[in-house]
Structure 1
């Protein structure tokens, strides 16, 4: 029996090569699928039907006129119908001219951007749509890696398109985006750059705002006006290319000056001391209602104050004139504070906490600085309670030296001028601010009587103030100008004290 030789099969390199490629595709697909699954699992916690943004809070005077704003992000929302067509068309032309034709992702633009990035380097052209930009601004935290973020943006954009109409998405986008110089949203941008409402913007202004959002710092018109004008021209050219405006309209708008509002360069807020105190009050009010006080800076609240701007403006005018204050021997200016209230309601009509305002929520001398009231406390802690006890302005007091025993050392009050007037009426004693009669009258009515009366008028006295030096303003911690003014307000209101409010 003859033996047959076993045939040796040759290695098919072509099949091996195809197998390796196939295996590579399978591995790559697995890795890609795993990556996408990981991206989806790490999607931000979001509710597409509840897109929220920080809003600007407005403050108004007693007549309902706006006097100040406070914010974390300066944003004033507007309705879609309030935004002119020129503004919408400018954004469509430069950001996403096929916005109304895609479902959140523009695959043609994405392919074009990919090809441009391959040819000219990554980042040379973007493929984001308006919907993707909204998703990015509203939900995405920029700590993620770029590829992961891009995938999440695309997924969120599709969800947004399924939840909202195109006009709703466009409105949210225009209210969300950052325009530079602290302006968030189209209305705040119109106010910041041009000092007008969005509905008053012309073609050139609309084109500028549409262009600045790409790189707000690079196109800042206050720092780089040439760049800003060049970017505006690009937007106008795009508007003409897509038929939103004619070539003639574009050429005419290019010739217009920027006509910027200069106020953004003046970061100083009006009435800072008054508004600081209003915020203090508002925070306490919100907290008492279980509302986070941070809403004052992000909740878009409307806060109505008691300010009389005529009084406040006059106070500010007086304080701004250095001729109204004596000079000092140091570099530090003499400081002071002022408060004006309506004694019948307790409304604070005007308030100034110092000659210069250094920082928001800083030291407010009108409300926070505690000092001895000195003789100003005599009507509050001595003579008013004496009248209630039955004494009269004609009551006679002997102004002569007196000594009161004390565990530490005897208390011997003195008059400021070193004189002693003998028998004088209570009226004369308060007229000339004589010390000894005040101390004697407090001793007569009882220290506790004067102490409790002063507390009933809002003075923040403590137990250690319950002694005869109370008659002369010898307090442990002192009082603020607002507290003292408020106490005096009771005298002009038939003896009824009203808690001050702003």
Structure 2
């Protein structure tokens, strides 16, 4: 008999068959839909092969000449790593947190995708958890936008397959670890390890690995700095997953769970403070390398010597604080009301927003009695100040006047004052204040113009204006050596006698119609030799000398030192240093004298390498190189027809040749700086400035106990600017002090008092361990005995005579035609 099937059974069988057909049809339609989607989307998808050459954003690094980090610039913190740099405990922490089956799946997690589809269908929301493998995240990070659409999700899946076919699993994971965002501008696992823990990957503990692995899920709201409780919950989850998956045992899990998290913001480990230099480099990098200069992983090595820079920083800080202390206390930075029964935490909140500035620590005065004031600082310390710690704080009246010395603490401080404290030389706390005065220093190598140190103000964070390069200030008497150089080229000698006597010139711009220049001390010494006039910085001698050689001639001559014609006034005030110059341009001018007469171009960037370590720029500065064979040959060739002074141009920090390098095939070829003044001229000017240091206005520099120093002080009208520029054969430096608003520094604030201490502090370090470098006397210089009063050659055996240096032809002329010298001196006398 044929089998009989009960009607209900037949119905079930029929339904099952329909379901099978329906399922098959759905699968066919689904496959057809995916095929159509792939056909539509695939042509627009990028090639996964491009990931092999991906260029991640890596910040620009700026290094000193000795390789110390000075600054990093860029939108992101990132330190690219290879999988070989990743310890297993970190790798498995990441896989446990994000994709446990990463090494076994084909790019997508089917179960996760189906779960996400079900959630979308049942909730109606596109924002559902699950479904993205590490491979899919890499596809999204590198190729897709963050928008939530079905098309984007399909693109992500298709790209995941492509990536899996093109790259190995380790290559994919390496991309993920380098690209992922970990919060606080940290992109990539290595940057995150450095920022949160100050460690490299191999130094991380298991608990720290788990913490970092948890961050990509909630980088901004779940990191340990912004939200520690949530971060610890996520860390516990990752550790639990690692334990469940067998990546750590019970003991390791228990130890990691019990570990206290020690994360805090670790800024890049800046090894040398040179913010003004770093900003110059940043600007030049963008100009030379384009808008991506800060994100393409370039490393720029500068000419800055780290020990010289540290010395410059300290010298400027100390000198400006000393100046500020001399001129009195301007009062508390602010005053707040202290709550009753305030605890240290309450006091610390009162100074929130105040930051330490160059060792000047902010604090709030919490208590004052007859003998002591207590200052609460942000780090929880409390400084006790006695009367000795505040006795300098005579009240500021104006730039030249102060109030009386305080007798009690209460005359200076009261509870609620926001003040600054700093350590004295014995380590004790004393009252301080942020100087209102500013300063700058530049140190150069006179042979090639390499900038060894530069500081453009007291503190970069408070004022980014770089006074070393951007300022235009009157140079005062520090400009006189250039006038003397012009005079020596015009027939005058160090023995020439000029009258130091009053002068009056018509000047319609003045109320009385007269210009009456004077000496700083208001005294007149009468006839005086040029050597003594520079040693004593006699203004009236400089004016007469300039008038004698001609203003137009001198104006053109001083451009040989790198100054532009626009910087220097073409009138007699040039003799008093009214040229508007920067410390850098002054240092460059003095370098001409220091190196024997060659104009070098200051430069700051020595090399640039790309992220792969390939050199893309190498400075090839023009050098003085006095003893090089090439220089000796050049000098011999030009001896018969000396070259004219070259045109000068503005300062560009990127290279010694105004951003030009030698041809690629000849990048290391020696380039010679042009000679702009006679070597003998440079030697004579140096000889005079050596006496300025030995026994003149710059004698404070003899504290360095060296005999190879030369320099000149400078002070401008109403003490608005204080200068000192000086050098030996290896280092030239210029220091400047003044107010940005051109206010007076105060009575008697000469260059020797305000600026010279900065120069001394810098040179003490720059010359440490360097043998004395005698200034080499060039051929054509001779010595002769002269009469101290007349400057003429002295008779043999004259007991009052003295040795003076001359160009050979000048001393010969004195011997044969002393009337010639007298005629020149009369020209300088006849100025009224």
Q: Deviations over 1:298-357 (max 9, x none)?
A: 111111112222222233334556733325769782222222223333222222111222
Q: Is 1:340 matched with 2:443?
A: yes
Show the 5 A alignment for 1:230-309.
Answer: 230-264=233-267, 270-283=273-286, 287=288, 291-292=289-290, 294-309=291-306
Determine which structure has the larger strand proportion and give its number: 2
Note if contact 2:286-2:294 (Cα within 8 Å) is conserved in structure 1.
no
Q: Is 1:315 matched with 2:312?
A: yes
Which of these residues, 456, 473, 484, is aligned with residue 577 of structure 2? 473
CA distance in 1, matches of 2:169, 2:163: 10
Note if contact 1:460-1:479 (Cα within 8 Å) is conserved in structure 2.
no
Change (3 A) 1:401 1:191: same
* Residue 10 of structure 1: aligned partner: none
Q: Deviations over 1:267-318 (max 9, x none)?
A: 999421121123344445xx2xxx42x3431111111112222222233334
Q: Is 1:141 matched with 2:149?
A: no
Of 332-341 and 45-54, more deviation after overlay is shown by 45-54
CA distance in 2, matches of 1:110, 1:355: 60
* Structure 2 unpaired stretches of 5+: 1-26, 334-434, 605-832
Show the 5 A alignment for 1:340-359.
Answer: 340-358=443-461
Of 345-354 and 28-37, more deviation after overlay is shown by 28-37
CA distance in 2, matches of 1:479, 1:464: 8
Note if contact 2:446-2:591 (Cα within 8 Å) is conserved in structure 1.
yes
Note if contact 1:92-1:99 (Cα within 8 Å) is conserved in structure 2.
yes
Q: Which of structures 1 and 2 has the larger relative contact order (alpha carbons within 8 angstroms, sep 6+)?
A: 1
CA distance in 2, matches of 1:429, 1:253: 78
Q: Deviations over 1:389-412 (max 9, x none)?
A: 342222111223445678977765
Offset, 1:451: 2.9
Of 448-457 and 192-201, more deviation after overlay is shown by 448-457
Offset, 1:77: 0.8
* Residue 431 of structure 1: aligned partner: 535
Change (3 A) 1:147 1:66: same
Note if contact 1:70-1:296 (Cα within 8 Å) is conserved in structure 2.
no
CA distance in 2, matches of 1:375, 1:38: 79
* Residue 455 of structure 1: aligned partner: 559
Note if contact 2:243-2:253 (Cα within 8 Å) is conserved in structure 1.
yes
CA distance in 2, matches of 1:412, 1:370: 25
CA distance in 1, matches of 2:568, 2:39: 69
Show the 5 A alignment for 1:6-405.
Answer: 47-116=50-119, 123-142=127-146, 144-264=147-267, 270-283=273-286, 287=288, 291-292=289-290, 294-320=291-317, 323-326=321-324, 327=327, 333-358=436-461, 362-380=464-482, 382-402=483-503
SS where residue 138 of structure 1 aligns? Answer: helix
SS where residue 473 of structure 2 aligns? Answer: coil
Q: Deviations over 1:358-400 (max 9, x none)?
A: 379x3211111221212221112x0122233342222111223
Of 99-108 and 454-463, more deviation after overlay is shown by 454-463
Change (3 A) 1:245 1:339: same
Change (3 A) 1:268 1:489: closer
Instruction: Give the aligned length.
Output: 468
Note if contact 2:272-2:310 (Cα within 8 Å) is conserved in structure 1.
no
CA distance in 1, matches of 2:28, 2:225: 55
Q: Deviations over 1:135-188 (max 9, x none)?
A: 22222233x453333233223322222322211111111111111122111111
Q: Deviations over 1:399-442 (max 9, x none)?
A: 23445678977765443444333211112222222222212222
* Residue 442 of structure 1: aligned partner: 546
Change (3 A) 1:209 1:430: same
CA distance in 2, matches of 1:368, 1:116: 63
CA distance in 2, matches of 1:68, 1:217: 25
Change (3 A) 1:32 1:240: closer
TM-score for both structures, normalised by structure 2: 0.51
CA distance in 1, matches of 2:587, 2:443: 8
Note if contact 1:56-1:73 (Cα within 8 Å) is conserved in structure 2.
yes
Q: Deviations over 1:163-220 (max 9, x none)?
A: 2221111111111111112211111111111112122222111111110111111122
SS where residue 351 of structure 1 aligns? Answer: strand
CA distance in 1, matches of 2:29, 2:230: 48
Offset, 1:100: 1.7
Determine which structure has the larger helix proportion and give its number: 1
CA distance in 1, matches of 2:232, 2:272: 29
CA distance in 1, matches of 2:39, 2:473: 66
Q: Deviations over 1:221-261 (max 9, x none)?
A: 12322221211111111111222222321221111122225
Change (3 A) 1:201 1:116: farther
CA distance in 2, matches of 1:487, 1:45: 58
CA distance in 2, matches of 1:149, 1:55: 28
Q: Deviations over 1:452-475 (max 9, x none)?
A: 443232224328733332222323
CA distance in 2, matches of 1:456, 1:216: 59
Note if contact 1:439-1:468 (Cα within 8 Å) is conserved in structure 2.
yes
